[in-house]
Amino acid sequence: MTAIFSPFWTQLEALVAEFGLPIDALVILGNQSIREYCSQIGFPELETSNTRAAKCIKSVSGPMFLLWDHTDPVDAMVPICGRGFPREDIEKLDDPAVFAMHLLLHEIAHYLRLDLHQDLPTGEIERDCDAWAFEQLKRFRSA
């Protein structure tokens, strides 16, 4: 299976650092799914899907951004495509590096924008995270 995130490790680490977050918060999982990882660290209740692409864990010791390297990009695109973004934004995600960055930025948004998300329904939170990630990509696109 193609690795989705690990080929862009350097860029993804740079993104985490850009937002003042510790780079060891970035965890790219290979053979282990996000669900298995959550169980292993003692939080089986955090994830019920075997195919979760990415997840932000907000622990007392800080954030963790989990990315699953064997994510199926087609599956991962389904929710994003359902959120009504312009075609030119969606098409940027055809670039594998941009796709990986957008998914990580989405998870970073869950952490940085937590206060703004307090009273929003889940669908709006997810849309806000995607919108913020598209906005941030404009800063990093040329990098």
Contact 16, 5 (CB under 8 A): no
- Among residues 102, 138, 122, the alpha carbon closest in space to that of 12 is found at 102
DSSP letter, residue 24: G
Distance in Å, CB of 136 to Zn ion, minimum: 15
DSSP characters over 95-114: SHHHHHHHHHHHHHHHHHTH
Q: Return the residues of window 103-142 that contact Zn ion according to CB under 5 A.
A: 126, 129
3-class secondary structure, 50: coil
Strand, coil or helix: 42? coil
Neighbours of 107 (CB within 10 A): 24
Residues between 29 and 88 with contacts to Zn ion, criterion CB under 5 A: none
**Residue 56 Cβ vs Zn ion, minimum distance, rounded to whole Å:** 7
Nearer residue to Zn ion within complex by CB, 47 or 126: 126
Shortest spacing between CB 106 and Zn ion, in angstroms: 6
Taking the least distance from each CB to Zn ion, the nearer of 135 and 142 is 135
Q: Which is nearer to Zn ion, 69 or 126 (CB)?
A: 126
**Which residues partner with 67 through β-bridges?**
28, 54
Nearest distance, CB of residue 103 and Zn ion, angstroms: 9
Minimum distance from residue 138 beta carbon to Zn ion (Å) = 20
Which residue, 70 or 113, is less far from Zn ion as judged by CB? 113
Q: Which is nearer to Zn ion, 25 or 129 (CB)?
A: 129
Residues that bind Zn ion (CB under 5 A): 126, 129
